[in-house]
């Protein structure tokens, strides 16, 4: 096991896939000569040259559409968004073209493309630069949506995403790019898309959390353990397709569930998971499901407000106690 930063794991994944398959190329703002706005693609221009690591002007609609066309015509593009906040400028390309052309063409054209970049809140950036987009993109059939919480998953899932013949939305995080963790040394390390990971086994309450919320869930579980409660933490890793089997099996054991979801609450990932749990495990629940999300407002700038805006570890802890009737 090597210890890698999240950004290094992403770079390894892209590099290995570009070595393996010369149809794969990387395109985006500042990915080449600047070495990546967050240094994810550092050194890749030098290794692969300007044919395959390509800087773009600030034209998200243009270069995302270009990626879709290149994918339709036999290539396997990786399109980097500096952050997914900027994907809204290209929303039409993602949801109308990437997601729907396979279907509308009766399956004649495949769109093997990865749109990747930072997602979610990253501190005092103001409302436009702090959006969690997973519920938005997950609503569209035709897209897959992945949100890895650690370097190992980042590598294994990005490699799978690049090999997938569907358009994949791959959600990273500015605040996790420097996160270090063990990454498998396995040659050609692939993690299947659509399989959740049980981060910690437990018997008293199930906490479901993806992306950086996963780390809140782990801290809450540790705190509960010190008080004699056993929490099971599930990281879905893939939002669409969503591994409900793993979540439902856990709830059959714990009979309680708390969801931590960084999205704004209305029509969010937590809403969907809650619906699916009551559909499949209603009789197993001993308490209403509780979710901890960002506040239902645009992200504020002020330090105290943005901290209050985000899902709080304390809130999640209290929620777990509440569903266990342990208060």
Partner 1 sequence: MAKQTRKTSSRKTPAKKTTKRPNGKASNSNASNDVHEVPSSLSVSVSFDTYPSGAYSHTDLGLSEDQVLAMYRNMLLQRRFEERAAQMYGKQKIAGFLHLYIGQEAISTGTASALEIGKDSVITAYRDHGHGLALGMTAREGMAEMFGKVGGCSRGKGGSMHFFSKEKGLFGGHGIVGAHVPVGVGIAFAHKYKESGGVAVAFYGDGAVGQGSIHEALNLASLYELPVIMVVENNQYAMGTPIHRAFAETEFASHSVAYNMKGAVVDGMDVFSVYKAMQDHVALARENKPSLLEIRTYRYRGHSMSDPQKYRTKEELEAKKDEDPLVRLKIYILDNDITSGEALDGIDDDVKQEVLAAVEFAENSPAPELSEIYDNVYEETDYPFIS
Residues near partner 1, by CB under 8 A: 25, 51, 54, 56-57, 59, 61-75, 92-93, 96-97, 101-110, 141-142, 144, 164-166, 194, 240-245, 276, 280
Which among 63, 324, 99, 69 has a CA at the least distance from the CA of 205? Answer: 324
Q: Which of 8, 16, 29, 60 is catalytic?
A: 60
Token pair in block for residue 132: 């969690």
Least separation in angstroms between CB 27 and partner 1: 9
Residue from 129, 225, 249, 318 carrying the catalytic annotation: 129
Retrieve residue 93's tokens: 């390309």
From start to end of the chain, where are the E strands? 2-5, 24-28, 53-55, 76-83, 114-118, 144-146, 168-172, 180-183, 197-200, 205-209, 231-235, 238-240, 257-261, 290-293
- Closer CB to partner 1, 93 or 264, in the complex: 93
Residues 232/201, Cβ–Cβ less than 8 Å? yes
Cα-based distances in Å from 7 to 87, 96, 121: 20, 30, 17
CB of 5 to partner 1, least distance (A): 30
Nearest to partner 1 of 196, 292 (CB atom) = 196
Smallest distance, partner 1 to C-beta of residue 303, A: 36
Closest CB to partner 1 among residues 145, 220? 145
Taking the C-alpha atoms of residue 63 and residue 29, their distance in angstroms, rounded to an integer, is 9
Min separation Cβ 168 and partner 1, Å: 11
Catalytic, 210? Answer: no
For partner 1, the closer of residues 68 and 169 by Cβ is 68
Catalytic residue IDs: 60, 129
């Amino acid at each position: 096991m090597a210890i890698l930063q999240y950004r290094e794991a992403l770079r390894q994944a892209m590099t290995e896939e570009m070595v393996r398959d010369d149809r794969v190329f990387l395109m985006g703002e500042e990915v080449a000569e600047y070495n990546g706005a967050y240094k994810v693609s550092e050194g890749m221009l030098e290794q692969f040259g300007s044919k395959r690591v390509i800087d773009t002007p600030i034209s998200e609609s243009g270069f995302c559409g270009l990626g879709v066309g290149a994918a339709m015509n036999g290539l396997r593009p990786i399109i980097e968004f500096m952050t997914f906040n900027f994907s809204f400028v290209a929303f039409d390309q993602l949801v109308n073209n990437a997601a729907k052309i396979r279907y509308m063409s009766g399956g004649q054209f495949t769109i093997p493309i990865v749109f990747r970049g930072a997602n979610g809140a990253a501190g005092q950036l103001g409302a436009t630069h702090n959006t969690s987009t997973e519920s938005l993109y997950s609503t569209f059939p035709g897209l897959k949506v992945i949100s890895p919480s650690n370097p190992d998953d980042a590598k294994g899932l990005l490699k799978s995403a690049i090999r997938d013949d569907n358009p994949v939305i791959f959600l990273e995080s500015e605040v996790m790019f420097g996160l270090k963790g063990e990454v498998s040394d396995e040659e050609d390390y692939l993690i299947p898309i659509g399989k959740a990971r049980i981060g910690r086994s437990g018997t008293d309450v199930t906490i479901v959390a993806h992306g950086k919320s996963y780390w809140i869930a782990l801290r809450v579980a540790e705190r509960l353990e010190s008080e004699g409660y056993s929490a099971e933490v599930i990281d879905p890793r893939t939002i669409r397709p969503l591994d409900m089997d793993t979540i439902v099996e856990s709830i059959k054991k714990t009979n309680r569930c708390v969801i931590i979801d960084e999205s704004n609450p209305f029509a969010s990932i937590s809403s969907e998971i809650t619906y699916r749990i009551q559909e499949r495990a209603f009789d197993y629940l001993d308490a209403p499901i509780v979710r901890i999300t960002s506040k239902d407002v645009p992200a504020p700038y002020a330090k105290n407000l943005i901290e209050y805006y985000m899902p709080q570890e304390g809130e999640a802890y209290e929620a777990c106690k509440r569903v266990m009737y342990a208060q």
